[in-house]
């Protein structure tokens, strides 16, 4: 006879690298948004395919997208390595959440052209990278 379904589901039950998975999903959605913003601006400018057409707004959108794809992959990998190596879950959620908020702040800075969100994003991004690198080195070398 078939077992009845559980009435409650445990969050992340059986998930492999849940923090990394959730972070990757959230950042993937953010990447799509940034990409669409570049595409939309190109369309408004008459279908510009390459470069920024000397348009300041398009240039800002391209840089927000470019900066995102420059830093995000290594942070996802670092958090994934930490998670697979047994880093504390609370630490991982803190790093992942802070990094995601930082990426949102960075995008706000690029579009609103306000210094403070960008400064907060850059500082948190670098601190997260430093901590993750330190943790991985410490875990595997010492």
**pLDDT for the residue numbered 2:** 61
Question: Is 11 within a domain?
Answer: no
**pLDDT for the residue numbered 13:** 59
Rounded to the nearest 10°, the torsion over CA 40, 46, 51, 55 is -80
CATH number at residue 57: 1.20.120.550
Helical ranges in the chain per DSSP H = 18-44, 56-84, 89-112, 115-141
Question: Is 10 within a domain?
Answer: no
Structural domain boundaries, residue 32: 18-141
Does 8 score more than 50 pLDDT? Answer: no
Question: Is 2 within a domain?
Answer: no
Distance of alpha carbon 46 from alpha carbon 84, whole angstroms: 47
Mean of per-residue pLDDT scores for the chain: 87
Question: Is 40 within a domain?
Answer: yes
Distance of alpha carbon 140 from alpha carbon 142, whole angstroms: 6
**pLDDT for the residue numbered 12:** 55
Tally of domains within the chain: 1
Regarding predicted confidence, which is higher, 81 or 42?
A: 81
pLDDT per residue over 18-77, tens digit each? 999 999 999 999 999 999 999 998 888 887 888 878 888 889 888 889 999 999 999 999
First-to-final CA distance of the chain? 53
**pLDDT for the residue numbered 91:** 95
Does 117 score more than 60 pLDDT? Answer: yes
Question: Is 33 within a domain?
Answer: yes
């Amino acid at each position: 006879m078939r077992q009845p379904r559980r009435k409650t589901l445990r969050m992340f039950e059986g998930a492999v690298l849940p923090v990394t998975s959730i972070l990757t999903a959230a950042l993937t959605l953010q990447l799509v948004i940034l990409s669409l913003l570049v595409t939309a601006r190109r369309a408004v400018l008459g279908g510009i395919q390459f470069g920024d057409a000397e348009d300041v707004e398009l240039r800002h959108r391209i840089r927000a997208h470019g900066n995102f794809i420059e830093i995000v992959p290594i942070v996802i990998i670092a958090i994934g390595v930490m998670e697979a190596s047994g880093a504390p879950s609370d630490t991982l959620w803190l790093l992942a959440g802070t990094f995601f908020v930082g990426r949102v702040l960075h995008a706000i800075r690029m579009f609103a052209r306000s210094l403070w969100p960008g400064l907060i994003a850059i500082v948190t991004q670098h601190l997260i990278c430093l901590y993750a690198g330190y943790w991985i080195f410490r875990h595997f070398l010492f």
